[in-house]
Amino acid sequence: SCEALDSIDMSGAPRVVLHQAGRHFLRFITSTFGQQIFRICVAESDRFPELGQKFYNSGPAVMRAEMAAYFEQAEGRGELRITDHIMAADQFSELCKADVWPRLIFGMTKTVSPAEVDRVVDNAVETFMARYGV
């Protein structure tokens, strides 16, 4: 999922970068592969605690650090006003999981449509910018 971030112009305007990063993130975690990885990590966390740690370090931690670094740069350019860049990165990823993630992990739905991804990410970006936009 993190190779996806390489295709994003991290010098871009916040709305553009957030839309792209949010879509990459939500498409990955709601993909069949993303779901399988999540379920394996949760199911095996007692027997293999290092499994979840390895996955976290290879994906979520990388995205978190990249987004925090982007927020710092955007703040330097006067585009965002954020005091805790890591917290903001965590908040954005949580906003991108609204509605669809709980329905997937509790088995209420099997798939997430591109329209649903767009709806959730568009709202996540608006909410984020309402809090941190300049």
What digits encode the pLDDT tens for the residues 71-120?
999 999 999 999 999 999 999 999 999 999 999 989 999 999 999 999 99
Q: What is the DSSP code string of 40-80? A: HHHHTTTT-HHHHHHHHHHTHHHHHHHHHHHHHHHHHTTSB
Give Cα separations from 94 to 12, 83, 119 (angstroms).
Answer: 22, 18, 14
pTM of the model: 0.89
Residue type, 49: P
The rounded percent of the chain whose pLDDT value lies above 70 is 96
The mean pLDDT of 32-47, rounded to a whole number, is 89
Residue with more model confidence, 134 or 11 = 134
Check pLDDT > 80 for residue 1: no
What digits encode the pLDDT tens for the residues 20-33?
999 999 999 999 99
Residue 4 banded pLDDT, cuts 50, 70, 90: low
Check pLDDT > 60 for residue 3: no
